Amino acid sequence: MFGNLGKKFADDIATQVQQKIGEHLSNKARENGSTEQATDSLGQVTGRRKALFIGINYFGQNGELRGCINDVHNIKHFLSKNYRIDEILVLTDDQTSNPGKMPTRQNILAAFRWLRNGAKSGDSLIFHYSGHGGSVKDTDGDEEDGMDETLIPVDYQQAGHIVDDEVHDVLVRGLPKGVRLTSIMDCCHSESILDLPYIYTVDGDLQIIETSKNEGIVTLVGAGTRFLLDGNKNKAIASMKEGMKSLMSSATSGGGGNSAAREKTIKTRSTEADVIQFSGCRDSQTSADAQIGGEATGAMSYALITSLKKNKNQNYTHLLKEMRQLLSGKYTQIPCMSAGRKLVLDDSFAI
């Protein structure tokens, strides 16, 4: 209605309104006991740094993607330029002349073992995945929504998916105390793809009760504000649908999800290592394979790089907030952050 300048103004105002409403609801959540404060200190990285990057475009297959290999190159370039990385392994499905570097199910699991092999206190491990993610029915009762999340390798039609239970068992379980694993998951249904027990709010608190209701309210308020200011009906409708979906999710679960599943996850998936995951969306959502600045890219990978370029020294919870604000109103996905123990994440982001 008002051109690009008007749209930017509408986005800025809507973001500020959403932020204020979100802060108010977060304070209420603390008061009514639906969040708790983190207590564990994040260890220092003093040792070697290993990184694993996996990007799958699924060339010639149904559901072919465009931006996943670009994501790997962009994230690898940014991290290598701004942080020290000692060893790097890249699996992408354009490396057809090197079968060992193709992101097959077997190679991905082998790469997980390579990444963690020999890790000791003070070491840092980095894992970035951009590709398809899926969900299947949970069979062991550790998922609040009743669904396991999956990674989808390039040969999934022959070899099958990699279920989150296996991702946790091969990549995460048993990592020594003092090791830091930072995981960046740009795929659909990715909130709990590492099966970590502690989900964070943008204030650095830990969710005790699912906060879909609050996110739904914030999204609806932002959609209404944008529509009033710039008249973008399609964008407003998309955001309103996502807001209603969050509200309905909260209503269906009674606001608390499956507490028995949550308790099982805490008991069986808590870690001694400092395991931190950034994910592109909630378990019930999809992550966008987008076109930004003339390049195919995952919206979450783009948001992470863009946010860190603004301020490389921001802490983890502020980075999560920046990523959410950057995607808000443009995409329906909500980036998430989780950890293997109750880490206080007010240190500057580092790998």
Q: Where are the beta strands (DSSP E) in the chain?
A: 35-36, 49-55, 87-92, 124-130, 133-137, 147-151, 162-163, 180-186, 198-199, 206-207, 274-279, 289-292, 295-298, 336-339
- pTM for this model (two decimals): 0.80
Side chain identity at 140, as an amino acid letter? Answer: D
> What does the pLDDT read at residue 213?
47
Q: Catalytic site residues?
A: 132, 188
Give 58-106 as a DSSP string.
-TTSTT--SSHHHHHHHHHHHHHHHS--SEEEEEETT-TT-GGGS--HH
Rounded to whole angstroms, the Cα distance separating 298 from 29 reads 32
Beta-bridge partner residues of 51: 88, 126
Closest C-alpha among 51, 18, 25 to residue 184: 51
> What does the pLDDT read at residue 146?
75
Q: Read off the pLDDT of residues 51-63 as tens digits, 9 standing for 90 and up.
A: 999 999 999 999 9
> What does the pLDDT read at residue 259?
74
Query: Per-residue confidence of the chain (351 residues) as pLDDT tens digits?
Result: 445 555 555 555 555 555 555 555 455 544 554 567 889 999 999 999 999 999 999 999 999 999 999 999 999 999 999 999 999 999 999 999 999 999 999 999 999 999 999 999 999 999 999 999 999 988 776 667 678 999 999 999 999 999 999 999 999 999 999 999 999 999 999 999 999 999 987 777 776 444 444 555 455 455 555 555 555 556 555 555 555 555 445 444 444 455 787 788 888 899 999 999 999 998 889 999 999 999 999 999 999 999 999 999 999 999 999 999 899 878 889 899 999 999 999 999 999
> What does the pLDDT read at residue 224?
54
> What does the pLDDT read at residue 255?
45
3-state class (DSSP) for residue 321: helix
Q: What are the start-end ranges of the H helices in 180-289?
A: 212-230, 233-252, 259-269
Rounded to whole angstroms, the Cα distance separating 304 from 66 reads 18
Rounded to whole angstroms, the Cα distance separating 344 from 351 reads 16
